[in-house]
Amino acid sequence: PDNVGILAGEVYFPSTYVRQDELEKHDGVPSGKYTVGLGQQGLAFVGDREDAVSMALTALRRLLEKHGVSPLEVGRLEVGTESSIDASKSIKTYLMALFEDAGNTDVEGVDCVQACYGGTAAVQNAANWVESRSWDGRFAVVVMTDISLYPAGPARPTSGAGAVALLIGPDAPLALERGLSVTHMAHAYDFYKPSGLYPAVDGPLSVYCYLSTLDTLYARYSAKWEKRNGRAFRLDDADHALFHAPYNKLVQKAFARLMYHDICKYGDVPATLAGTAGGDLKDGSHPRPPMQMPTELERALVTYSFPTYDKKVRPSTCVARQCGNMYTASIWSGIPQLIETTGAALEGRRILLYSYGSGMSATMFSLVGRATETPRFALGRLQATSDLAMRLARRVPKSPEDFEQAMQLAEQRYCAGNYKPEMPSLEELEPGTFYLVEVDARYRRAYARK
């Protein structure tokens, strides 16, 4: 089959969130530290009534219902997560409840676990399956679901929660550009979860790994592109760019860095940067990656790239800015947003994606928007039924104290059995949300839908 890619996507985020400006006040940090310094507006969190399974169920059910996909039409289902609730039983097996009821248990795939990257690995598996001789003509579905929790301190405001469900198949309105994907995998201890609820994280190292891997992959992607197209790749060749989004400031820096690579390569040095480069950008006498970029140059680049960022990146960053780091779901939350904001105008446009997971694993690849042969998943139709911005606006903020209470509850409930969830009240969940009813003495979880 041709033009395999994303046919439709749905995002779920919990209705409970806290505003970052309120968190700044509560944490006693200078005003602007989280909202400007990290570029974040809100932080979505769950009480004990929702977990990675319930969020995945909600996102998946939304995808199937909203796009009229019968569970019988799905032949592969895979989950990307780093918030597993069990060291053996996959989240995918919980999701099978939605398929069993319809009489379909012939569904391949399990979970992909790797920090922030498992969803991308699952998308690769799903697309490869559709293109392979194993394909039986049915759709593949990938669900990314994560709850990001950090201990009190500078990393906590980068917590978040959310899930994304993607439908994968041929004749896609957003088709994967085959043969251009590039990967970098290596061993690093920037962020990992050796024990307990919270990760062991080296913040500065994780930022360094994220940005230096971006450098590596941009060069690799450009080289592959050049080999195929007979001319060099420039950022102008991408109409949109999506990045893994731990916090928005890092996304701004990442985009600025790609512009910086083009400037170095093509020598069109803007006057505003000439004085801050700490050396000549053209002759390479300034510090180059993987050296740490001088702060002054980094800031000048972010400012310089802002108008282009506004056009190419901002339209896909709203969920991540308002919900925080959703780990595997972060980058993929940008796709339904881009469809909502841009619709059929995406036809003929290229979307460049940078998916990064600590530890470390990363892939840069691209999608191309196209007019589909059949109208079922046409971009205009997807846009017309999208309600993301409306759902974000409907949320009512909770207080920083509520957030703290939820964090305490998460610590208490971690690996616990024999309890009935208490937070938030059922009234606070949006209709259609799956929730945890109880965890029994044998740690078996029961879910229901509001």
CB 198 within 8 A of CB 154: no
Give phi and psi for 311, each to the nearest 5. -80, -45
- DSSP letter string, 366-391: EEEE---SSGGG-HHHHHHT--HHHH
* Of the residues 4, 147, 164, 201, which one makes contact with ligand ACO according to CB under 6 A: 201
Shortest separation between residue 155's beta carbon and ligand ACO, angstroms: 4
DSSP code at position 35 = I
Tokens at residue 153, please? 């301190």
According to the binding rule CB under 6 A, does residue 12 interact with ligand ACO? no
The one among 36, 96, 110, 188 contacting ligand ACO by CB under 6 A = 36
Q: Which stretch binds ligand ACO (CB under 6 A): 13-21, 24-32, 47-55, 62-70?
A: 24-32
Task: Tell me: is residue 305 an annotated ligand-binding position.
Answer: no
**Residue 410, SS3?**
helix
Question: Distance between CA 118 and CA 145 in Å, rounded?
Answer: 10
Taking CB under 6 A as the criterion, the residue among 1, 2, 25, 32 binding ligand ACO is: 32
Min separation Cβ 196 and ligand ACO, Å: 16
Site pattern 283..302 for ligand ACO (x: CB under 6 A): ------------x-------
Cβ at position 415, least distance to ligand ACO in Å: 22
Q: Which C-beta is closer to ligand ACO: that of 58 or that of 330?
A: 330
Minimum gap (Å) between residue 265 Cβ and ligand ACO: 24
Of 249, 261, 321, 398, the one binding ligand ACO by CB under 6 A:
249
Nearer to ligand ACO among residue 35 and residue 337 (C-beta): 35
The structure tokens listed for 357 are: 């997971």
Please indicate if the annotation marks 311 as binding a ligand: no
Binding test (CB under 6 A) with ligand ACO, winner from 13, 94, 191, 403:
191
Task: Candidates 21, 26, 27, 37: give the one binding ligand ACO (CB under 6 A).
Answer: 37
Among 66, 110, 203, 216, binds ligand ACO (CB under 6 A): 203
Question: Is 244 noted as a catalytic residue in this protein?
Answer: yes
Q: Residue 408 class from Cβ within 10 Å (0-12 exposed, 13-18 middle, 19+ buried)?
A: exposed
Q: Whose Cβ is closer to ligand ACO: residue 117's or residue 139's?
A: 117
| Among the listed residues 155, 217, 320, 368, the single contact to ligand ACO using CB under 6 A | 155
Cα separation, 98 vs 282, in Å, equals: 57
* Token pair 């469809």 in the structure block, residue: 339
Q: List the catalytic residue out of 244, 264, 298, 318.
A: 244
Residue type, 114: Q
Under rule CB under 6 A, residue 358 binds ligand ACO: yes
Contact call for residue 258 and ligand ACO (CB under 6 A): no
Separation CA 293–CA 375 (nearest Å): 47
The verdict on whether 131 is a catalytic residue reads no
Decide if 1 contacts 138 (C-beta within 8 A): no
* Distance, CA of 429 to CA of 224 (rounded, Å): 47
**159 labelled binding-site residue:** no
| Residue 154 touches ligand ACO, criterion: CB under 6 A | yes
Rounded to whole angstroms, how far apart are CA atoms 444 and 242?
Answer: 38
Identity of the residue numbered 279: G
- Indicate the residue among 99 and 247 with the shorter CB distance to ligand ACO: 247
Tokens of 57: 């169920």
Shortest spacing between CB 331 and ligand ACO, in angstroms: 10
d(CA 144, CA 52): 9
The angle subtended at Cα 236 by Cα 312 and Cα 316, nearest 5°, is 15
Say which amino acid occupies 258. L
Instruction: For the beta carbon of residue 128, count every other beta carbon within 10 angstroms.
Output: 14
- 82: annotated active-site residue: yes
Nearer to ligand ACO, 164 or 379 (CB): 164
Of residues 112, 116, 209, 318, which has the active-site annotation?
A: 116
Instruction: Report the distance separating Cα 60 and Cα 48, nearest Å.
Output: 20
Exactly one of 81, 120, 181, 206 binds ligand ACO (CB under 6 A); that residue is 206
Q: How far is CA 52 from CA 7, 85, 199, 299, in A?
A: 24, 8, 16, 36
Question: Cis omega (within 30 of 0) on the bond before 424?
Answer: yes
- Size of the residue set binding ligand ACO (CB under 6 A): 23
Residue numbering of the annotated binding site for CoA: 206, 249, 253
- Residues engaged in binding ligand ACO (CB under 6 A): 30-33, 36-37, 116, 154-155, 158, 191, 201, 203-204, 206-207, 210, 246, 249-250, 295, 325, 358
Active-site annotation, residues: 82, 116, 244
